[in-house]
Amino acid sequence: MNGGDGDVTAAPAGSLDWKFSQVFGERTAGEEVQEVDIISAIEFDKSGHHLATGDRGGSRVVLFERTDMKEHVGSRRDMERIDYSNSKHPEFRYKTEFQSHEPEFDYLKSLEIEEKINKIRWCQAANGSLFLLSTNDKTVKFWKVQEKKVKKLSEMNPDPAKSSENGSSTRSSVSSGHLSNGDEFSFPPGGIASLRFPVVVYSNESSIMARCRRVYAHAHDYHINSISNNSDGETFISADDLRINLWNMEISNQSFNIVDVKPTNMEDLTEVITSADFHPTHCNTLAYSSSKGSIRLIDLRQSALCDNHSKLFEEPVAPGSRSFFTEIIASISDIKFGKEGRYILSRDYMTLKLWDINMDSGPVSTFQVHEYLRPKLCDLYENDSIFDKFECCLSGNGQRVATGSYSNLFRVFGTAEDSTEATTLEASKNPMRRQVQTPSRPARSLGSSISRVVRRGGESPGLDANGNSFDFTTKLLHLAWHPSENSIACAAANSLYMYYA
């Protein structure tokens, strides 16, 4: 692990000044990255004190904990409060890791189930223990992580003068020729040496243990693309291409199908579910996105099976602008509710869109991420890059949004109406490699995985919006924003980079 401050070039007025903080697992020059080590999921917990990552190998969920806190001396309650006021910059350290999933084989369908971790979601901590959900393509698991004191055996034959009270009482009863059940026995003349027993004691050492509490399996015919916790702390959803299931966290052998978009005839299938997210405060509300670029808001109070949505958010395609790639690039790869639940952020291949759930006529703002790639859509289709699924995230205060791009770049945009903030950074240990993009203000607008065709072609480099060369082999798909600070964790291949502002 490497960490530290780094000065960077000045940011445009009104923009945050981003600085490099830490990197975990960075490659050395010429080192080949194994496919199983590539990070496939990142998630902060609600407090921001812990961070979890999952990899494509599925064998590791790695947990990190915050270390730059001010220590309180006083009551137990004081010790539970964490203060970052004296922190120079956010700093995390490795906490533990555990094996989450293993490769499986579905013999009925002759299908190999990858162990790749698709999503991680933190649950509410309790009694000093951490809880989280992790999922691969088919199975969700519920984990408990806690710190336990290590037990050790004392010496087998301690000095009688220093022996424990339990040991002394045992020896005295044996030496007197009496057993605890009242039976009497006698020793040879002169007696025998006192019997001594090993005593289990707690050492000053502790170990962190992860235990799988429940396994939620056999509920999805297609690959799980999303899991999301409910604000009630008791339920969560898992979504695949055609269905969304509701689970009670205490019941692993039964789930309720709340959304089903599977047509009677699969030839009539026109769109699939791509992402789903629970409202952060309303336990009856959730949203899911589709491969046609629409977002549906549903209310669980309306019916057990949510065939109808309460609101539909989509942006109509301008007449005459349709092409072969229109539906492919319109597919939404990720949606996130803002912290307060009023806004939904969505990411499609070309743009980020911010939606107000009270206004379904069109997005509040549209942020151009890959507009410069529009002339290259044919190449992107040939090398399969057009199907890359980029994630998105919002800051805790909702004033900024972020998403990833190629060449391990990520972009941060300001959401205020008069903001021109649009910053591009490269996930790199060297902060001087930062680039600043200064486009015009993002336009204000008011207005599938099952049948995917896989075609392979050469990986061709190109130019980004700044005229700098880039290639499609390096991409930053996964990132997360700290819930209360301007700090971003992002994954580039097997490396986890931390930036702060």
Listed as own residue / partner, the contacts of 160-168 with beta carbons closer than 8 Å and 24 or more positions apart are 160/194, 160/196, 163/196, 164/199, 166/197, 166/199, 167/196, 167/197, 167/199
- In a domain, residue 191? The reply is no
Determine contact, residues 471/452, Cβ cutoff 8 Å: no
How many whole angstroms separate alpha carbon 411 and alpha carbon 475?
12
Residue 440, pLDDT score: 38
pLDDT of res. 466: 52
Range of the domain at 370: 1-22+328-501
Domain membership flag for residue 431: yes
In a domain, 379, yes or no: yes
Residue 243 falls inside a structural domain = no
The answer to whether residue 46 is domain-embedded is no
Please indicate, yes or no, if residue 371 is contained in any of the structural domains: yes
Any domain includes 171? no
**Amino acid at site 335:** I
Question: Is 463 within 8 Å of 409 (Cβ atoms)?
Answer: no
- In angstroms, the CA 87 to CA 443 distance is 37
The pLDDT tens digits for 138-148 are 999 999 999 88
pLDDT of residue 186: 56
Give the per-residue pLDDT at 155: 65
Instruction: Give the whole-angstrom CA distance, residue 158 versus residue 170.
Output: 14
What is the pLDDT, as a whole number, of residue 451? 33
The number of folded domains in the chain is 1
Whole-number pLDDT of residue 84: 54
Positions in the chain whose pLDDT score sits under 50: 1-10, 72-80, 162-182, 432-461
Q: What is the pLDDT of residue 111?
A: 73
Residue 128 lies in a domain: no
Amino acid identity of 194?
S
